[in-house]
A and B are shown apart, each in its own frame.
Chain A
Amino acid sequence: MGGGLEGNAIYRAVYGLVVDTLGWASWLAYFIAAMVIILIVVNGVLVLGTLYTWFERRVLGRFQGRLGPNRTGPFGLLQPIADALKLMFKEDIVPRGADRLVFSLAPIVMLVPTLLVLAIIPFGRGSFLADLNIGVLYIAAVGGITTVAVLMAGYASANKFATFGSMRAVAMVVSYEIPLVMALLGVTVLAASMSMVAVVEAQHLPYLLVAPLGAGVFLVAISAELNRNPFDVLEAESELVAGYLTEYSGMKYGVFMLAEFTNTIVAGAIFAVLFLQGWQWTVLSPLGSQVGFLGFLDTGVVRQIESHFWFLFKVGLFAFAATWVRATLPRLRIDQILSLAWKVLFPLSLLNVLVLAVEVIVWPEPSVGDLAIMAAINWPVAGAAFFVAARLVSLGTRAPGLGVGAAVGVR
């Protein structure tokens, strides 16, 4: 593995520096160079995550007719730093009756999977830490660990709200893993590979257009995995105060929040890779996917930088959309969430895989034209499926425990 690194300019520079100038062993050079890259990637994404806390508050503010944080620094840009400072200086309280070890471990368990996922995300042309051949599977596997962290936090807090929150989380995430994996499966079928890089390269058209059903299911399922609106039942502030976070304070709370916001960014990255062509940009230029706007400067570095830009742009789009959803949708109830997963998303994702599989048999290794034909088929299928689902399934309430008596005449 590490196949992607050789193409990376920074890696080559550090590697060359260590081997040529210092004359150290090549394995050491590999280690140091990889560490540098990891440092850049991890910190870069964490900074993006903290920036996202600012971004979301600003954008949410505008959706609500206010400004959002604008006091710290230009446009309030230093707000995340102020928040972090505040959290650091707060007393770190571990409630009596809490399981100290698990309580302290939970934030770490929450953050680490987020960072692990970064290993396989191609941030740009030739910029990735590892091109795992089972990349898509890896996402599903590693991403699921956060649930354990939530469960740990909820159990260790010795707080009823926290327990409620973590129980909801487990019920929800277990249900949503299935449609999520199914949606990923659709992508795998289309790209005929589980490698993230291969998926990007196979996307002559964004899979959002080719497989709208899969993309839709993925979006819904990923917002459930991220505990974002309308699925934020596990920290539903009007019901559970802060859910599994109720007892956390100080930097432990900070790490949880950081992990959550970074998770959103990472989810945006995954979505960009799987459904929005990753670093490519065919939608904007029908001519072809391999030449950028700056194509005339067709040197490797420029193209690489440009590809990063497109990637970030797509992540930003996802972040904006996530905030927009948060500003617009109320929360679903836990039983509605579960029935949505099992009654709607699961069948839809199965249908998605089925249709795509048939199409891939007809057009193996689809070109742009083939993908366009697939899109033309898939959109009506998706529409019809959505219509049928909306028609058949009701998320409505069950019969109340109370008997409803006779109505009086006054109306």
Chain B
Amino acid sequence: MYGLGVLKGFGVTLKNFVRKPFTVQYPEERSVQHPRFRGQEFVWYEDRCTGCASCAKYCPLGIIRIVTDPDGGHEQEGGDYKVEVFDIDQGRCMYCGLCVEACPYDALHMGSTFEGATTRREDLVITMEVLNERPKHPSTWFRPQLEQQAVDPFGGAPVDSGDAGREAYRWHPKRSEDAPGGAGK
């Protein structure tokens, strides 16, 4: 009850007063983001997508809409389906990344931005056209090959389909010994 503890508290606040502030002045200065950041604006490579709809099936919210044409005659890697509609309703997306995890052909990647605010809900639905036009800055989330390539989703060059690495069938249960991540601490 002698007030010594209170005095100590005064010391702590004074120490912080002369210290540099911890905060970051957002629009001018950005805090460091990490390559695995699960951001908005998915990255989708049309030439890789087979329209298998694994992503749509694994999305816990069911917000990916895919319409495919079975005999599209479209030359696709790994399948004959032509993907006609590929909509993601970002307004309901929680960026859990399960769709990316589910995609067996490394066609879908998480994006890297977080400033996707719009004034209308409809604008949040991203369609095939939007996905195709967008510069592709895939997050390395669940894409160890991109991590090995040291892809920088923030500020690095866009990664086109040809440049983005692929995982060697790691989803295959028989090949699980190839699973990445044995390396070091």
Contact = CB atoms under 8 A, between A and B. Distances in A.
B13 A63 contact: yes
A67 interface: yes
Nearest to A394: B1
Interface in A359-411: 387, 390-391, 393-395
26 contacts: A59-B17, A62-B16, A62-B17, A63-B16, A64-B16, A65-B19, A65-B21, A65-B22, A66-B23, A67-B23, A67-B25, A70-B25, A324-B13, A324-B14, A324-B17, A327-B13, A328-B6, A328-B9, A328-B10, A328-B12, A328-B13, A387-B2, A390-B1, A390-B2, A393-B1, A395-B1
A329 B22 CA distance: 21
B162 interface: no
B3 interface: yes
Contacts of A394: 1
Interface centre among B13, B21, B23, B25 (most CB of A within 10 A): B13
B25 A324 contact: no
Given A65-B23, A66-B21, A66-B22, A324 B10 contact: yes
A64 B2 CA distance: 25
A62 B14 CA distance: 9
- Contact residue range for chain A? 10 to 19
A95 interface: no
A390 B4 CA distance: 11
A215 B176 CA distance: 76
A67 to B, nearest CB: 5
A300 interface: no
B16 A390 contact: no
A62 B6 CA distance: 19
A329 B9 contact: yes
A70 B16 CA distance: 18
Contacts of A2: none
A331 to B, nearest CB: 13
A390 B6 CA distance: 13
Interface centre among A62, A324, A387, A393 (most CB of B within 10 A): A62
Contacts of B9: 328-329
Given A62-B16, A66-B23, A390-B1, 5 more contacts: A62-B17, A66-B22, A324-B13, A328-B9, A390-B3
A295 interface: no
Interface centre among B9, B12, B21 (most CB of A within 10 A): B21
A61 interface: yes
A65 B12 CA distance: 11
Given A324-B13, A324-B14, A327-B13, A62 B3 contact: no
Contact of B21 (A61, A328, A391): A61
B21 A62 contact: yes
Interface centre among B1, B9, B10, B22 (most CB of A within 10 A): B1
A350 B21 CA distance: 44
Nearest first, the 10 A-B pairs at minimum CB distance are A65-B22, A66-B23, A390-B1, A328-B13, A63-B13, A328-B9, A327-B13, A390-B2, A67-B21, A62-B17
Contacts of A67: 21, 23, 25
Nearest to B20: A65
A391 B10 CA distance: 22
Nearest to A396: B1
A65 B2 contact: no
Nearest to B19: A65
Contacts of A391: 1
A328 B3 CA distance: 13
Contacts of B13: 63, 324, 327-328
Interface in B3-39: 3, 6, 9-10, 12-14, 16-17, 19, 21-23, 25
A5 B158 CA distance: 74
Contacts of B12: 328
Contacts of B14: 63, 324
B17 to A, nearest CB: 5
A327 B10 CA distance: 8
Nearest to A67: B21
Contacts of B6: 328-329
A324 B1 CA distance: 20
Interface string A113-140: 0000000000000000000000000000
Contacts of B21: 61-62, 65-67
A269 to B, nearest CB: 24
Contact of B17 (A63, A329, A393): A63
Contacts of A329: 6, 9
A328 B21 CA distance: 17
